[in-house]
Amino acid sequence: METYKIKDIGLAENGKKKIAWAESRMPVLMHLRKKFEKEKPLKGARIAGCLHVTKETAVLVKTLSAAGAEISWSGCNPLSTQDDVAAALAAEGLSIYAWHGQSVEDFYWCIDKTLEFRPTLTLDDGADLIFRVHSKQPALAPDILGGTEETTTGVHRLRAMAEAGKLLYPVMAVNDAETKWDFDNVYGTGQSSIDGIVRATSILLAGKNFVVAGYGHCGKGCAMRARGMGARVIVTEVDPIAALKATLEGFEVMPMDRASKIGDIFITATGVKDVIVERHFKEMKDGAVVCNTGHYDCELNLNDLYGLSTSVTEIRPNNEACVLKDGRRIYLLAKGRLVNLAAAEGHPSEVMDMSFANQFLAMLYMMKNGKNLGKTVHTVSKEQDREIASVKLETMGFTIDTLTAAQIAYINDYAAGT
Ligand code: RBV
């Protein structure tokens, strides 16, 4: 019986080349693969994973498998699967259910397929898989030692579930590791979102008004990189502290009601719905480009945009021209889904190296300790963070200083002053 459903197994050769390229740029994860492939600490684990099927994720999947785990995988977004990578994983005998451009029904069908082997661990990006277990198949929960969560939005969902007393097993918030959010969310999102915008439009960024909605870590990355390309960056926020940070970084801050009139390119990175709605679309300039890099596709209100449009035409991959009644055109990228994963390839391998090293170590931790943990959201240890940072630095060829005994004594000596 086939243990996969993908677009085309014939794409496997290309996928293998992409995965090999990612492997050459993910030294921390490869170090962990080497370290654990003999010992096989995940032997006996059945891991259901739901995370973008990219070349980087493939390196994680192969590492989990090398450490002894049985795997069943689905993508966590209907538009992010790289079909050649999915084919390469299937060709290696791994169980995978994912293809690019699937419907929402197919998306959940794929998740359900991965649950058929009764997982003992779950790995999420956005919490759709774990939520599926809780809402549709709670009978699976007693056999599940623990789960992990990759992204900010998923961690928010899980914390809300835990607070409501609804979480049936412990989860590790991989996103909250410093070697994840302070790198992946900032530099990863910054580069890959610009990459997605450029691939979908080939637009010149220099001199454009580039509006970033949300100045969290992802928004900060987008703003920083857009400025680097010569754009004039405008930030919109609801949080005074985040807004203040943006102004002191030199970005202009204003409400979306004003930004909507002057922006050339808009990107949402808030994790909240209805950030750009009808009244904003109505004010936009002819030729404005709108996209989203938040986990879910609710930040741009597409019902509003399509409702205002007299025609919608895909003019190039991931770029739809929405023509309004008065002839103005608004260009919607990647149907409002994560522009970096749908229109480009997601974050670069080098940064996913740290995120996925955290995922891998969190899986080992859950396998070993899950049954003794409270049914709540846990964070990775400082030791894990430091170990990943140390190995990453070492593989990049950097060395750092060490505190002397006298310096340590000084730090701990509260009496030492002027
Ligand atoms: N993300 N994965 C990739 N190349 O595999 N790129 C981005 C990749 C993850 C990232 O960690 C983020 O938290 C999540 O996608 C949002 O869904």
- What element of type H or E holds 266? strand 265-268
Q: Average pLDDT in the 192-207 region?
A: 98
* CA nearest to 209, candidates 196, 199, 195, 223: 223
Q: Average pLDDT in the 170-185 region?
A: 98
Give the span between the Cα atoms of 211 and 226, in whole angstroms. Answer: 10
Give the span between the Cα atoms of 311 and 327, in whole angstroms. Answer: 10
* 56 Cβ below 6 A of ligand 1: yes
What atom in ligand 1 is closest to the CA of residue 125? Answer: 17
Q: How far is the CA of 350 from the centre of ligand 1 (A)?
A: 12
Pairing mode of beta strands 4-5, 95-97: parallel
Mutating to test ligand 1, I would choose from 19, 151, 156, 339 the residue with most ligand atoms within 8 A of its C-beta, which is 151
Q: Which two tokens stand for residue 275?
A: 């950030």
Q: How far is the CA of 56 from the centre of ligand 1 (A)?
A: 9
What's at 167, amino acid-wise?
L
Q: Average pLDDT in the 330-351 region?
A: 98
Residue with CA closest to ligand 1 atom 17: 295
Strand partners of residue 248: none
Pairing mode of beta strands 319-324, 329-333: antiparallel
Q: How far is the CA of 345 from the centre of ligand 1 (A)?
A: 10
* 347 Cβ below 6 A of ligand 1: yes
pLDDT given for residue 81 in this prediction:
98
* CA nearest to 213, candidates 285, 101, 292: 292
CB-based contact 155:377 (threshold 8 Å): yes
What's at 334, amino acid-wise?
A
Strand partners of residue 213: 236, 268
Q: Average pLDDT in the 84-112 region?
A: 98
pLDDT band at 1 (very low <50, low <70, confident <90, very high): low
Residue with CA closest to ligand 1 atom 8: 346
Say which DSSP state 184 is in. I
pLDDT at 207 over 70: yes
Q: How far is the CA of 317 from the centre of ligand 1 (A)?
A: 21
pLDDT given for residue 390 in this prediction:
97
Positive or negative torsion for Cα 240, 241, 245, 248: positive
* 189 Cβ below 6 A of ligand 1: no
CB-based contact 252:297 (threshold 8 Å): no
* 184 Cβ below 6 A of ligand 1: yes
Give the span between the Cα atoms of 251 and 45, in whole angstroms. Answer: 48
Q: How far is the CA of 234 from the centre of ligand 1 (A)?
A: 25
Q: Average pLDDT in the 76-101 region?
A: 98
Q: How far is the CA of 292 from the centre of ligand 1 (A)?
A: 14
User: What residues contact 153, with CB distance under 8 A and at least 6 apart?
Assistant: 126, 127, 271, 294, 295, 296
Q: How far is the CA of 205 from the centre of ligand 1 (A)?
A: 24
pLDDT given for residue 377 in this prediction:
98
Mean pLDDT of the chain: 98
What predicted TM-score, i.e. pTM, was given to this entire model? 0.97
Residues above pLDDT 90, as percent of the chain: 99
What atom in ligand 1 is closest to the CA of residue 184? Answer: 11
User: What residues contact 271, with CB distance under 8 A and at least 6 apart?
Assistant: 152, 153, 156, 214, 216, 294, 295, 296, 299
pLDDT given for residue 214 in this prediction:
98
273-299 per-position pLDDT tens digit: 999 999 999 999 999 999 999 999 999
pLDDT given for residue 279 in this prediction:
98
Give the span between the Cα atoms of 140 and 129, in whole angstroms. Answer: 12
Mutating to test ligand 1, I would choose from 341, 345, 351, 358 the residue with most ligand atoms within 8 A of its C-beta, which is 341
pLDDT given for residue 2 in this prediction:
77
* 62 Cβ below 6 A of ligand 1: no
pLDDT given for residue 418 in this prediction:
86
* 193 Cβ below 6 A of ligand 1: no
Q: Which two tokens stand for residue 157?
A: 């969902």
Give the span between the Cα atoms of 231 and 246, in whole angstroms. Answer: 15
pLDDT given for residue 133 in this prediction:
98
CB-based contact 73:98 (threshold 8 Å): yes
Q: How far is the CA of 82 from the centre of ligand 1 (A)?
A: 13
Q: How far is the CA of 100 from the centre of ligand 1 (A)?
A: 16
pLDDT band at 417 (very low <50, low <70, confident <90, very high): confident
